[in-house]
Structure 1
């Protein structure tokens, strides 16, 4: 049996760590990213790749058509589906903050666990 342990949340969504009920000290396997009403399962590596995509999208596109505009949507792939996220400056900033906060919390908890520190 698995349960969800909250990692981080903000105005655009939440992230959860999926853990086995009988062994809560296993390595990080799956992160559930909940954006408004869509839940996406990602690995930590996929989460970091998504953050790079969001940062790239926030810098805008400088082709002749776009002239530095932020894309109206971004697409990212997971192992089971492709997701198209409607974007504007506000939603991309919130998504970037959600992903950065999640990665920070995961790394912070890894350091605490490595040092046998519990909060």
Structure 2
């Protein structure tokens, strides 16, 4: 190291105080949590898992399959019925509907647990 003595300024070095950001007797900055890397890794893995699960649900629904997640619920595709409307001003007819929709039905146990945990407000 050079003459400056590292990252401590001269007043901190002379007073025997720890460098800024470090608490005495500690080797890492006080404001940084210990598990930053682990937490970041968990977040990345969680994101990948969520994306993968959503992709698999989407692909199964597009193939016309019903997706049943125990403890969560059931996803399925339903075709909406077609219906016609008449414009009152012009009298023109328009056919609407006929789209496909994703329908979610929650698991009975999940509903029971949600409703039993609700307190009186």
Which protein is richer in strand relative to its size?
1
Structures share a fold, TM > 0.5? Answer: no
- Larger radius of gyration, structure 1 or 2? 2
Bin of the TM-score, shorter chain as denominator length: under 0.3
TM-score, scaled relative to structure 2: 0.26
